[in-house]
A and B are shown apart, each in its own frame.
Chain A
Amino acid sequence: MRLKNGIARYIKSTALQRRIMRRKGLDRFFAFEGLFVMGVALLVLFALVGQLAADGAGRLSWQFLTSFPSRFPAQAGILTAWIGTLLVMLLTALTAIPLGIGAAIYLEEYAAKSWLTEVIEINIANLAGVPSIVYGLMALGLLVYELHLGQSFLTAGLTLGMLILPMIIIATREAIRSVPPAVREAAYALGATKWQTVRDHVLPYSMGGILTGMILALSRAVGETAPLITVGALSFIAFLPHPPWQAEFPFVSFEWLFDPFTVMPIQMFNWVSRPQEEFHVNAAAAGLILLAMSLAMNAVAIVIRARFRKRIHW
């Protein structure tokens, strides 16, 4: 009897152990698979950046950054392109960020839940997925032909602004939603109005998330090419836009808004499509600079987020 029990227990335990071993094996398999997949992704990324660096690094120089485009690859530079990118990004941020944050606050905090807000919500989510070339076509029809803004910085900034507006709205709403309702109730219970609650609590506590969303949206805009080609980016601009200041009163000038523009990806696109090998090298070098700009923006986002996280912890 005792022997029988012992055997039964022995068999049972080995069966159990075998099952545990099998599950642990599966565990290890997935850990290994995850590592492998991540390795592949990183390898591809390194290969791309490495290729770009190998091609273009030799071309990076002060002269490359401070020269206008040229027929001669060795004399050509990206001055108009990087200044154009900075100015277009500035306009994009100035239009999309206030509109996006305002719309998100309205939808989250003020709008009554109704079928209309539902429809608006679904449409914003859809707009975020619309291909950028479609925005380009809309901007061409609306901004260039209807409003006669020309093939200008203003048109480019507004086009990219429209493109990233839904992204900013979605990111801001997510950030606002992460503020616990208990904190809102605490503010209301003290007699705060809706706007006081939003200004003093909801916005400050969600600012980290909002800023992250904005930088990610701008990082996407910085690389956009298709909609800007559609609205008429020039790829050969041998002069700088008007400066945003002037000697006479009121000392600021908005003439630059209506100057023709180009941006980094357009310049690269133009160089890549030329037959000469030297221009391809230029494109790679410009790609490195664009990559650096993008990384710098992301670094800024990380610093800002860390700063807001340090001040606010739940």
Chain B
Amino acid sequence: MKALDVSQTVLKAESQGLNFFYGQAQALHDLSLPVYDRCVTALIGPSGCGKTTYLRCFNRMHDLYPGNRYEGAVILYPDRVNIVGPEVDPIEVRMRIGMVFQKPNPFPKSIYENVAYGMRIRGVSSKTELDMVVERALQEAALWGEVKDRLQASAMNLSGGQQQRLCIARALATSPELLLFDEPTSALDPTATSRIEELVTELKQKVAIVIVTHNMQQAARVSDHTAFMYEGRLVEFDRTEKMFTNPSVKLTEDYVTGRFG
């Protein structure tokens, strides 16, 4: 892979020769990929290419299920901790790295409790502090105006798009250093999708973002860098505009022009 001109950007995380196994089956092969701070990195590729598997390595979600195994390293900067190292506590990793899932998954609790939960498990119980965090997170997720008069209403009464923004607010409440999006708009209509995309573009002012997407237009619209994966391997990584206009690898060109996948 060619070296990139990224002199003005700061590394936030980097996978180095990452292999991942579901039991005996190897799902990721020797994946090395940088994630830059205050940038959006998009992961694209056909179904089953390992994008989501790769994303879930970043917050050790694979640890929840037996038989999964990591090899290699995912380094989180600035303290250069190896996220997938066996000596690193996955809970600590998840407290630094937030995640938004494919389907909106709010807790069946009030809007307020959904956003406050991350702080509550960190031991924050002061009402004023929680109020502040909830308002800030909802503002950042562009949901505050719609829900400020009904914070105690159930989150399940919100529309799908609002639920997804609530999940973003929930992840933002704990001020993560890196935010993972796993196809966050695949269950939403076009209007809700464009709101989420705007949000992603705004959020990168504050936080590094990795987004998995099926939708190549979406990757082109929101991301600064794009990684194209195929069969558990990285095919190409470059600036997004280069990936979509002048990719170096034939396979990437075939994929982004819609010839397969």
Give the B-binding residues of A (Cβ under 8 A): 112-113, 180, 182-193, 196, 200-201, 205, 311-314
Contacts and interface: CB of A to CB of B under 8 A. Distances in A.
A189 B91 CA distance: 8
11 contacts: A112-B66, A182-B101, A184-B64, A188-B94, A189-B61, A189-B98, A189-B99, A190-B118, A205-B108, A311-B108, A313-B156
A147 to B, nearest CB: 39
B22 interface: no
Contacts of B103: 182
A190 B122 CA distance: 10
Contacts of A193: 91, 121
Given A191-B92, A193-B91, A196-B121, 19 more contacts: A113-B66, A180-B105, A182-B105, A186-B105, A186-B170, A189-B59, A189-B98, A189-B99, A189-B101, A190-B98, A190-B118, A190-B170, A190-B171, A191-B91, A205-B108, A312-B108, A313-B154, A314-B108, A314-B156
B117 interface: yes
B167 interface: yes
A198 B61 CA distance: 17
Given A182-B103, A185-B61, A185-B64, A190 B108 contact: no
A242 B83 CA distance: 62
A186 B106 CA distance: 8
B244 interface: no
Contact of B174 (A191, A205, A313): A191
Contacts of B171: 189-190
Given A185-B64, A188-B94, A191-B95, A313 B122 contact: no
B107 interface: yes
A187 B121 CA distance: 10
Contacts of A184: 64
A193 to B, nearest CB: 6
Interface in B40-70: 59, 61, 64, 66
Nearest to A179: B108
A215 to B, nearest CB: 22
Contacts of B121: 190-193, 196, 200
Chain B contact patch, size range: 20 to 34
A70 to B, nearest CB: 55
B188 to A, nearest CB: 16
Given A182-B103, A205-B108, A190 B64 contact: no
Interface string B4-42: 000000000000000000000000000000000000000
Secondary structure of the A contact surface, majority rule:
helix
Nearest to B154: A313
B127 to A, nearest CB: 18
A162 to B, nearest CB: 32
Nearest to B104: A182
Given A185-B64, A314-B108, A190 B156 contact: no
Contact of A183 (B61, B107, B154): B107
A186 B167 contact: yes
Given A196-B121, A200-B117, A313-B154, A187 B107 contact: yes
Contacts of A312: 108
Nearest to A180: B105
A183 B105 contact: yes
Nearest to A310: B154
Contacts of B117: 187, 190, 192, 200
B101 A191 contact: no
Nearest to A201: B107
Nearest to B59: A189
A203 to B, nearest CB: 13
B99 to A, nearest CB: 4
Closest 9 CB pairs of A and B: A191-B95, A182-B105, A189-B99, A191-B94, A190-B118, A312-B108, A186-B105, A192-B121, A196-B121
A274 to B, nearest CB: 55
Contacts of A201: 107
Given A112-B66, A314-B108, A185 B101 contact: yes
B210 to A, nearest CB: 14
Given A112-B66, A185-B61, A190 B174 contact: yes
B108 A313 contact: yes
Interface string B81-110: 000000000011011001101010111100
Contacts of B108: 183, 205, 311-314
B101 A186 contact: yes
Contacts of A311: 108
Contact of A191 (B61, B118, B154, B167): B118
A313 to B, nearest CB: 5
A91 to B, nearest CB: 34
Contacts of A187: 107, 117
Contacts of B64: 184-185, 188
A196 to B, nearest CB: 5
A235 B73 CA distance: 73
Among A184, A185, A191, max chain B CB count under 10 A is at A191
A204 to B, nearest CB: 8
Contacts of B98: 189-190
